[in-house]
Chain A
Amino acid sequence: MSSVAQPSEPRRNDAGPDQNQRVASVEFFVVQFLTGLASAASLFLVASGLSIIFGVTRIVNFAHGAFYMLGAYVAYTLTDRFEGFFGFWGGIVVAALVVAAVGALLEIVLLRRIYRAPELFQLLATFGVTLMVQDLVVMIWGPEDLVGPRAPGLRGAVDILGLAVPTYDLFLIVLGPLVLGGLWILFHRTRWGVLVRAATQDRDMVAALGVNQTWLFTSVFALGIFLAGLGGALQIPRNAVTHLMDLSIIVEVFVVVVIGGLGSVLGAFIAAVLVSELNAFGILIFPKISIVLVFLVMACVLIVRPWGLLGRAEGPARQPAGLSIRPWRPMSQNQRLIMLAVVVAAGFAPFVTGDYALTVLAEIAVFALFAASLHFLMTVGGLASFGHAAYFGLGAYGAAFATTMFGMPMIGSLLLGPLLGVAGAILFGWFCVRLSGVYFAMLTLAFAQIAWSIAFQWVEVTGGDNGILGVWPASWASSPATFYWLALAVSVIGIVALRVLVFSPFGYALRATRDSALRSEAIGIDRSRVQWAAFVIAGTFAGIAGALFAFLKGSVFPDNLAIPMSVDGLVMVLLGGIETVSGAVVGAIVYKALAIWLVSQTDLSKLVLGAIIVLLVVAFPKGIVGFAEDLLARRRTRADDGGSAARTAPAKATAPTSGSGAAPIAAPKMEAAR
């Protein structure tokens, strides 16, 4: 079970159950179309905000959904207190303004520190904010759903072709294009808008022209957040306000901006309409796969136009995650012996601890393997996956199917179960490796959501939300001690195998594609094939971890492949140190132990965890192992300097160098990667 957050809610069903039963007629389709358009309005507001922020700051704001949710909650409070026409409409606008102010504060306090950081760090930091907001919202407004008032003046319904359409829906349908037009005027007819468009094309040039970038960024961020808050506030007459609405909207918004093209407001509008209509009609025509439908359309769009319908090709990617200035070395003989001693010591755990501790330790072992598999993709391959839990979860479901449907013994299930994860990685990976950077991250996230939707919706096979129970280990492995040994052995073998891969020729090919796509193509390396293979390898090991996890828990749930599980993995890698070869394992141990402890200590675990993530990104971007390596390297350098006074600067051609660690850590010269 993940300790981070709840799974996102299933998408809201615009057509009520009674309407589903109705005979489909032309009139009904027209009304359904209008309902879809009304839903598109809010989606467009939120998505355009995300798009505008990305265009200028290049940050994909994961916390956008949190601000949408905040907008709804604040609007609920305001409209609840101040009734009447002005109370309601004033409350909506003031709510959006309040949220925009909070957003500006966040930009000033947090984002300004991470504008130059890799995309992954920005996504993670804003995800940390999302976690914190989730707990804060429950603290302030309580966990129950809140139902807002109806809009004064727009309470009734209009008769269209004999069917009643809420007046408020018609208002939203008109509002969408109005906002689109307003944004166009803002960007094309005001000085501020011209500056924003200029900054979208070339930030550095705008700065060189003497424009105060700092405040331009803050104002753009505030505008984007205002739109998100407004989108949330406008929802309260239509939907209940819940503390789960942030994750469901953010996934939908990601889909919209990916289809429309990041940075394009018009693209966001078209895509919002497309997605909303797909939702509205998908529920009628393909009720079983309605959630999947939108993602399928997105995958198709990305294959034809990798940067979305109206998006433009990204410039050269920023420094990818995992790129270290310090070349990696295989372990020395001594280090291997130390590792062996650690593993042997871990093997003695059952003689000194109780059953509960052993279950916890087995879980840590499973997650160490999961984190190591993500690390392989993310650090070695430079491909930050935001949906790695998909392959973990598929492996878990595979093992559960093998056990409960086909009555396989445990060993058979452990061997066959991960194949489902492998199959998923082969299929999804083929699409994902065509993209890079934030687009890769968002597509992996979307595919993980597809997998989650299937697990959630296909109740006959997966049991839906009830999961699959009774996946118990064979009798010989049923004691906590034996299962712990099994988990430890599988995990250690997996981690060693991944480490061998890092230093194999294939590992070098993978690092090559990460370091410089241009150079790799020029020396005959097929980038997408290498990255696809890496994706499948990472998916395989994640699947193995998932299969173990299923037997550890005795059950499988859709949670196992939900977003919070993916983010758990990302945080483990980051905590351990993204630039290191084996930081992920250390990160998994520390994080998992911390998370289990936190949940037992406090009700606000998400708040604490979110704060830890933000702190990590801002203060310790190199993680535990990276920090330790820095310390070691610095000490060695100092020892070197003490020995010979002659060595002053990182000398050129003639300076003798003894080894990797001894070289002074000069300022990284990353221009070469461009």
Chain B
Amino acid sequence: MSTPILEVENLSKSYGGVHAVRGVSFTLAAGEILALIGPNGAGKSTCFNMLNGQISRDTGSVRILGRDTAGLRPREIWRLGVGRTFQITATYPSMTVRENVQVALLSHHRELGRLFGFAGARHHAEADRLLGLVGMRDLAERPCGELAYGDLKRLELAIALVNEPRLLLMDEPTAGMAPKERVALMRLTATIAREQSIGVLFTEHDMDVVFEHADRIMVLNRGSLIAGGTPAEVRNNPDVKAVYLGEGSVYGGEAAA
């Protein structure tokens, strides 16, 4: 494979003596779906927020499409071609579903500074195409504030695809969804990722989702990666069983050290 979409090397972050993340390194290739799992407090969210620029890192480097992201703000990282969805959805409740996508499209085309012209008429078809992709074409006119939670998650995916991303960062994409919706959303994500050769990194607590859809899984515990590999490898890893998947075993004490 050519240059990886995402290269993370020796990423660390501590909060006043607590090592939230230490020495995490991995790469992500185009079209690959990589899951980051681990118990609560393992450092998943900290990792994620460092990747998209929401918090600064203490050490290490993050390269997206070969470009170092040190000092870039989230909005600048987005311009590199990174789409993201949030654990708790962040959308615009006062706008319609289509307008939510249109705003992102206007931003992508750098047209948000325009003071004249009716914005609702711009990128109409493109917005509908993206909504169609996530199966929400019928909901385009609906006020976003009225949507069911699962629909908001799908809308976030549509918005994330607006800038033709090469990398998708999805923080618990199926949290708060019904089991059926979870499978549908991840299947959809996988299809889009393969077709457009997007690298997907996601965190998730639902192991069914993780083991069914991830090409590769990394397990984080107390800030460090303790295992990584195909779903089968991770499933049979004794360390992972000890700290996370369990098998009647006690929560592992020093497994991370």
Contact = CB atoms under 8 A, between A and B. Distances in A.
Interface of A: 323-328, 330, 500-501, 503-509, 511-512, 514-516, 518-519, 521-526, 530, 650, 652-657, 659-660, 663, 666, 668-674
Nearest 5 A-B pairs (CB), nearest first? A519-B90, A515-B92, A509-B112, A518-B90, A505-B114
A653 B92 CA distance: 19
A382 to B, nearest CB: 10
B177 interface: no
A215 B211 CA distance: 51
Given A500-B115, A519-B91, A669-B93, 4 more contacts: A505-B112, A508-B103, A511-B92, A523-B107
B162 A503 contact: no
B141 A657 contact: yes
B112 A506 contact: yes
A328 B151 CA distance: 21
A523 B162 contact: yes
A672 B75 contact: no
Interface size class of B (residues with CB under 8 A): 35 or more
Given A505-B106, A515-B93, A523-B104, A669 B118 contact: no
Contacts of A328: 94
B131 to A, nearest CB: 12
Given A503-B118, A519-B91, A669-B93, A652 B75 contact: no
Interface centre among A325, A507, A650, A653 (most CB of B within 10 A): A653
Given A505-B113, A509-B106, A669-B146, A522 B93 contact: no
Interface string B105-128: 011100111111111101000000
Contact of B146 (A530, A654, A666): A666
B143 A523 contact: no
Contacts of B84: 522
B93 A508 contact: no
A671 B88 contact: yes
Nearest to B113: A506
17 contacts: A325-B143, A325-B146, A504-B119, A506-B113, A515-B93, A515-B94, A518-B86, A519-B92, A523-B159, A525-B107, A653-B135, A657-B141, A660-B143, A668-B93, A669-B93, A669-B146, A672-B152
B221 to A, nearest CB: 28
Interface string B125-159: 00000000001101101111111100110000001
A327 B143 contact: yes
Contacts of A521: 73-75
B190 to A, nearest CB: 21
A522 B138 contact: no
Contact of A512 (B92, B114, B142): B92
A327 B90 contact: no
Given A324-B94, A652-B151, A503 B138 contact: no
A366 B154 CA distance: 46
B156 to A, nearest CB: 8
Nearest to B152: A672
A128 B57 CA distance: 48
A668 B75 contact: no
B78 A330 contact: no
B116 A504 contact: yes
Given A509-B112, A515-B94, A522-B74, A650 B106 contact: no
Contacts, number: 150
B197 interface: no
A591 B107 CA distance: 39
B52 interface: yes
Given A325-B145, A660-B141, A530 B118 contact: no
A501 B113 CA distance: 11
Contacts of B112: 505-506, 508-509, 525, 530
A509 B107 contact: yes
Contacts of A519: 86, 90-92, 159
A521 B141 CA distance: 24
Interface of B: 52, 73-76, 78-79, 84, 86, 88-96, 99, 102-104, 106-108, 111-120, 122, 135-136, 138-139, 141-148, 151-152, 159, 162-163
A110 B8 CA distance: 55
Given A323-B94, A505-B112, A653-B138, A522 B75 contact: yes
Nearest to B54: A521
A670 B146 CA distance: 9
Given A505-B112, A663-B142, A672 B135 contact: no
A504 B142 contact: no
B158 to A, nearest CB: 12
Contacts of A524: 75-76, 78-79, 107-108, 163
B92 A504 contact: no
Contacts of A326: 143
Given A327-B96, A518-B90, A669-B147, A504 B114 contact: yes
B103 A509 contact: yes
Nearest to A658: B141
A665 to B, nearest CB: 9
A74 B202 CA distance: 64
Nearest to A320: B94
A506 B115 contact: yes
Nearest to B114: A505
A669 to B, nearest CB: 6
B132 to A, nearest CB: 13
Contacts of A674: 88
A620 B24 CA distance: 55
A300 B146 CA distance: 42
A660 B96 contact: yes
Contact of B151 (A530, A653, A660): A653
A362 to B, nearest CB: 28
Contacts of B93: 323, 325, 515-516, 668-670, 672-673
B148 A672 contact: no
A672 B103 contact: no
A653 B139 contact: yes
A672 B138 contact: no
Contacts of B147: 669
Nearest to B110: A524
Contacts of B86: 518-519, 522
A669 B143 CA distance: 11
Contacts of A670: 93, 145
A504 B117 contact: yes
A507 B119 contact: yes
Contacts of B145: 325, 668-670, 672
A663 to B, nearest CB: 6
B75 A505 contact: no
Contact of B119 (A508, A516, A650, A652): A508
A669 B135 CA distance: 22
B108 A504 contact: no
Contacts of A504: 114-119
Contact of B122 (A323, A505, A669): A505
A657 B142 contact: yes
Given A518-B90, A669-B147, A512 B115 contact: no
A523 B78 contact: yes
B70 to A, nearest CB: 18
B68 to A, nearest CB: 19
A503 B78 contact: no
A498 to B, nearest CB: 11
Nearest to B139: A653
Given A507-B119, A524-B79, A654-B138, A327 B106 contact: no
A578 to B, nearest CB: 12
Contact of A672 (B89, B96, B113, B122): B89
Contacts of A505: 106, 111-114, 117, 119, 122
Interface centre among B88, B99, B103 (most CB of A within 10 A): B103
Nearest to A324: B94
Nearest to B73: A521
Contacts of A663: 142-143, 146
B90 to A, nearest CB: 4
Contacts of A659: 141
A522 B52 contact: yes
